[in-house]
Structure formats: structure tokens, C-alpha cells
Amino acid sequence: MNTGAEGVETALKIARKWGHEKKNILKDELILMTQSFEKIFKEKGDKIAGFLFKPVQGEAGVVIPPEGYLKIVRELCTKYNVLMIADEVQ
């Protein structure tokens, strides 16, 4: 890999393949989480292969998630058998 973008692309490809093989998720299906991800996990957890997130957002300043955010993400990913994918490249 040469760039962070290649790393993310590869992680998404792995998640898609894994989701199709292990959770019978149809290929080319995307769930975009723009609201409460806890609600979406509860409603569609069986259709989610991977949860891609930035642990710290570095664009336009440094944005750190609230206390306990990563713990909640880990718990939800474990509960719903979802791959937790951290994009740590800035």
C-alpha cells in the first residue's frame, strides 16, 4: 500500500467479501450512517459488514470523539458481528 486511501479501499473490499460470505449480505449494498449509529445497528445490524470511522478527525482542526465513543463502537460491532475499521490516516 502506498496511501491511506488504498488502505481504506482494501479494508472496505475485505469487509464486503467477509460480509457476503459470513453474513449473506448482498454485494453492492451500502448503509450510510448519518444519524444515530446505535439506532441503525439495532435496525440493520444483520446487514452491516463493517463500520468505518476516524478515531480522530484531523481535517479543519482536531476533532476528538466524546468520552466512551470508541467503547460503544466496539461493543456494538461485537454484538452485531460487524468488522470495526479505524481510518487513522490523516
DSSP 46-84: GG--EEEE-SSB-TTS-B-PPTTHHHHHHHHHHHTT-EE
What pLDDT was estimated at residue 2? Answer: 80
Domain residues of the chain, as ranges? Answer: 4-86
51 versus 89: the higher-pLDDT residue is 51
Q: How far apart are CA 52 and CA 83, in angstroms?
A: 8
**pTM of the predicted model as reported, rounded to 2 decimal places:** 0.85
Above 80 in pLDDT, residue 1?
no
DSSP label of 27: T
pLDDT in tens, 7-66: 899 999 999 999 999 999 987 777 777 778 889 999 999 999 999 998 888 777 888 889
